[in-house]
A = this chain, B = another copy of it.
Amino acid sequence: MKHRVAKHGPRDRSVEQVADRLHSAAIHLLRRVRKQDTATGEGPARLSALSVLVFGGPMNLGQLAAAEQVRPPTMTRIVTGLEKNGLAERVSDSADARRVQIRATPKGARLMQRGRKARIEYLARQLAQLTRDELSTLGEAVEVLQRLLQRWT
């Protein structure tokens, strides 16, 4: 027990410190990057859903809602907005008439690629200020995060 306690105390504090800073950094990072996205003329929810459609392929409304961690009525409205702007379309499911397949249109895919490009280039311009070591650390950390997010409960 003793060595467990001795290991746990400092470890936990460090974990919480990282957690706190990570949270803060994520907020401030996204707040800045988001401004780039306004150039597309679409809101964040639509862009995020469109991104899932473009990079993940067509899916049902319910699946899309789950992927975006949003309730179905919310996703209904997001998809309606995307459809209105010609970025996605509803396709009726032949097997089950209750379901609706949602898929990105070519226009939607183009907008997504463009927006993604602008966003990443903007971020990359900022990251270019880092030293090679710092960038390398950041790269490793992002991979750690990706793995963590995959098995997140």
Interface of A is mostly: helix
Number of copies of this chain that the complex holds:
2
A96: Cβ under 8 A from any B Cβ: no
**Contact among B14, B21, B134, B152 for A135, CB-based, below 8 A:** B14
**Distance to closest chain B CB from A118 (angstroms):** 11
CA distance A52 to B132 in the complex (A): 33
Q: List the B side residues contacting A143 at CB < 8 Å.
A: 21
Which of A29-37, A74-82, A85-93, A105-113 lies at the binding interface?
Answer: A29-37
Chain A residues packing against B (C-beta within 8 Å)? 11-12, 14-33, 35, 48, 69, 116, 119-121, 123-124, 126-130, 132, 134-135, 137-146, 148-149, 151-153
Q: Which 10 A-B pairs have the closest CB atoms?
A: A141-B141, A19-B123, A26-B26, A19-B124, A25-B145, A21-B142, A15-B124, A134-B144, A16-B124, A18-B139
